[in-house]
Amino acid sequence: THIRTVPTEPIEGQKPGTSGLRKKTPVFQGHHYLENFIQSIWNGIGGVEGKTLVLGGDGRHFNSQAAQVVLRMAAASGAKKVIVGERALLSTPAASNLIRKRGADGGIILSASHNPGGPEGDFGVKYNAGNGGPAPEAITDKIFEATKTITEFKILDSQDVGLAGTGTVMLGDMEIEIVDPVADYAELMKEIFDFDAIHALFRSGFSMRFDAMHAVTGPYARMILEEELGAGPGTVINAIPLPDFGKGHPDPNPIWAKTLMDEMMGDHAPDFGAASDGDGDRNMIVGKHCYVTPSDSLAVLAANATLVPAYAGGLKGVARSMPTSGAVDRVAEGLGIDCYATPTGWKFFGNLLDAGRATLCGEESAGTGSDHVREKDGLWAVLFWLNVLAKKHCSVAELMEDHWKAYGRNYYSRHDYEGVDSDAASALMDHVRAQLGTLPGTAVAGMTVASAEEFAYDDPVDGSRSEKQGLQIGFEGGARLVLRLSGTGTEGATLRVYLEKVETDPTQFALDPQVALAPVIAAAEAIAGIKTRTGRSEPDVIT
C-alpha cells in the first residue's frame, strides 16, 4: 500500500448547504470532485491524523464507490480507525449515535437525504463533528475555504475493502471496523421507549404500515417494528434499500408517499402509518384518515413526552426551526419551559442539545429529534408516537382533536416552487426584502401586517450569529408568512413559502388547511408576486 499525493485544482461551488454538499451524481463522479471535497474536509477540520471516524451512507447510487474513496483517503492522511456500517450503510441518526457511543472524532455520511438518487439523481456528503451532529457553520465555512485553496490530495493505492460482513480489517496502518448498521441503534431505541407497552399494543390488534420508500430505514424498521415489537410481517413495505430508491422520491410527505397516504385514507386503513426518507432522519406520521403535519407532531410529542421512559422526568426545553409552526411554542408555554427558534437545518440545534437547554427539536420538513443523538431521527419519532398511543389508548385522530382543544390549531402548509430560475428567485427575495421596512401597519389581503423582518439567529450558547435566514412577516391575530430559498436543491432555485394561521375556535378545527390558509396565501402573492416572478401558476409541491 502506497500513499499517492495527487496534484489538483480547486473546483468551484463546493459550498456545503443546509445539510452537507449536494450535487447531481455525475458531478460527484467527475474528475477529482469527491477527492477534492473529502481532502477539504480533512484540511478544514485540522487533519485526521490519529483520529477515529464513523462512515456510512444511505445506499444510493455511488454510495459504495464513494465509501472506498473515503476509506483510502482517511488511511492516506493517517486516520487511526474508521468504523463503517456493513455495505457502507448507516442511517443518519445511526451514524450520529455511533459517533457518540464510540467517542469518535467525527463522521462522514454519504447521502443526499430526501433528494432522488440514481445515475441521474443526486448524491451528497456531510461531515458530522464529535458530538454526532452536523458540522456547525464555523466548520463548514472552513471546509469551504479549504475547497478554494486545495492543491493536492492524498490517497492510498489499494484494492477495495470488502464491506460485506462484520469484523475488523486493516487498510495500510488504519483499522477498519465493519459493524452491523442496525444493532447499536436498536439498542438505543430500547433504552428510550417502553417496548413492552408497544409490544402489547400490537398484540391487542393495533395495525400499522411503515413505508421505508426503498431507502435506508428498511432494515431498521424490519428489525425494530416487526421482529422486536411484534408488528405483523408485511408491516414494513418497500423495505429493501435500492440504489435508485425504486425510482421513487424518498421524501416522506403526502405527495411522495402517496401509496401510503391512499391506504391510510382508504376503507381498510390500518390504525397507524409512517414513512421515512432516504437517510432515515425524516418521518411522516399519519393516522387512520388523519394526516399529522410535522409541526403538530412536534407539539404533540412535547405535550406527551413524559409518557416515554427516557423523558419521564420532563423536558429541559424545546426548539424548532423558525419556519416551523408555533404549535410547540404554546405547549412549551403550558409546560413552563423554554422554546427556541433557530434557522433551518439541524446543525443549529446541536449547541442547544449539548448545553442541555433543549430536549426535543423539530422542523416543519418532517424532522423531529431529541438529545438521544444530534440528528433528526425518523424511526425514533415513529416509536415515540407508538409509545404515546400505547399509553393513551386512543386513535391518532382523537389525540389530535384533544390537542387542538387544549392548545388551538395552527393551520400550516408549505408551498414549494422547484427549479426556478436562480436570478428570478433572488429578485423575488430582494423585492420582498425591500418592503420589510414599510409593511408593518399596512393591510394585505384583509389582514394587518404586525411585523416584518429578515430572520437572523444569535446562538445563545456560543454567541455566533447567522444572518439572512428567511423573510418573516407576521400578521395581527397570529398568522405568519415566511419565504426562503432552499439550501439542499441541485437545480436552479427552490422557493419555499411557509404559511401559518392560528385558530382557537373549536368549530373551525376541521377545515382543509388550504382553505383555512387562503388569506395568507393571498397575502404571499400580493407581497411577493410569486406567479409573475416565477412564471408558475401554482406550487410544484404542497405539503
Nearer to ligand VG1, 282 or 357 (CB): 282
The nearest distance, CB 318 to ligand VG1, in angstroms, is 16
Distances in whole angstroms, Cα of residue 16 to Cα of each of 13, 35, 178, 251, 323: 9, 15, 28, 20, 21
The nearest distance, CB 441 to ligand VG1, in angstroms, is 30
The nearest distance, CB 117 to ligand VG1, in angstroms, is 12
Within a 10 A sphere around the Cβ of 495, how many other Cβ atoms?
25
The nearest distance, CB 334 to ligand VG1, in angstroms, is 25
The nearest distance, CB 464 to Co ion, in angstroms, is 24
Measured CA to CA, the distance from residue 473 to residue 483 in angstroms comes to: 9
* Candidate list 19, 40, 96, 113, residue with the active-site label: 113
Please give the residue whose beta carbon sits closest to ligand VG1 in the complex: 113
Residues near Co ion (CB under 5 A): 113, 277, 279, 281-282
Distances in whole angstroms, Cα of residue 482 to Cα of each of 49, 58, 366, 440, 501: 44, 31, 17, 15, 12
Nearer to ligand VG1, 320 or 372 (CB): 320
Distances in whole angstroms, Cα of residue 239 to Cα of each of 282, 305, 351: 16, 29, 34
Choose among 181, 27, 32, 36: nearest CA to 109. Answer: 181
Query: CB under 8 Å, gap of 24 or more: what pairs does 162-168 form?
Result: 163/64, 163/67, 163/84, 163/86, 163/87, 163/88, 164/86, 164/87, 165/86, 166/86
Nearer to ligand VG1, 96 or 486 (CB): 486
Identify what 91 binds: ligand VG1, Co ion, none; CB under 5 to 8 Å per kind. none
Helix axes 33-44, 63-76, angle to 10 degrees: 50
Instruction: Give, as one character, the DSSP assignment of residue 160.
Output: P
Identify what 363 binds: Co ion, ligand VG1, none; CB under 5 to 8 Å per kind. ligand VG1
Nearer to ligand VG1, 311 or 346 (CB): 346
Q: Is 19 a catalytic residue?
A: no
Hey, what's the cell of 50?
490519529
Nearer to ligand VG1, 19 or 96 (CB): 19
C-alpha 456: how far from chain center: 21
Identify what 19 binds: ligand VG1, Co ion, none; CB under 5 to 8 Å per kind. ligand VG1
| Phi (first) and psi of residue 329, to 5 degrees | -60, -40
| Phi (first) and psi of residue 91, to 5 degrees | -70, 160
Cβ proximity of 318 and 358 under 8 Å: yes
| Phi (first) and psi of residue 251, to 5 degrees | -120, 110
The nearest distance, CB 400 to ligand VG1, in angstroms, is 22
Give me the count of residues in the chain.
543
Measured CA to CA, the distance from residue 182 to residue 85 in angstroms comes to: 9
The nearest distance, CB 542 to ligand VG1, in angstroms, is 14
Please give the residue whose beta carbon sits closest to Co ion in the complex: 113
Cβ proximity of 305 and 381 under 8 Å: no
Spell out the residues 6+ positions from residue 66 whose beta carbon is closer than 8 angstroms to its own: 28, 34, 57, 110, 123, 125
Measured CA to CA, the distance from residue 107 to residue 135 in angstroms comes to: 10
Nearer to ligand VG1, 147 or 253 (CB): 253
Instruction: Give, as one character, the DSSP assignment of residue 150.
Output: -
Identify what 496 binds: Co ion, ligand VG1, none; CB under 5 to 8 Å per kind. ligand VG1
The nearest distance, CB 198 to ligand VG1, in angstroms, is 25
Nearer to ligand VG1, 61 or 288 (CB): 61
Identify what 18 binds: Co ion, ligand VG1, none; CB under 5 to 8 Å per kind. ligand VG1
Residues near ligand VG1 (CB under 6 A): 18-19, 113-114, 277, 281-282, 321, 344-346, 363, 365, 367, 486-488, 496
Identify what 365 binds: Co ion, ligand VG1, none; CB under 5 to 8 Å per kind. ligand VG1
Nearer to ligand VG1, 96 or 113 (CB): 113
Three-state DSSP state, 235: coil
Choose among 384, 233, 400, 196: nearest CA to 301. Answer: 384
Radius of gyration of the chain from its Cα atoms, rounded to whole angstroms = 23
Hey, what's the cell of 367?
424532522
Q: Catalytic amino acids? A: 113
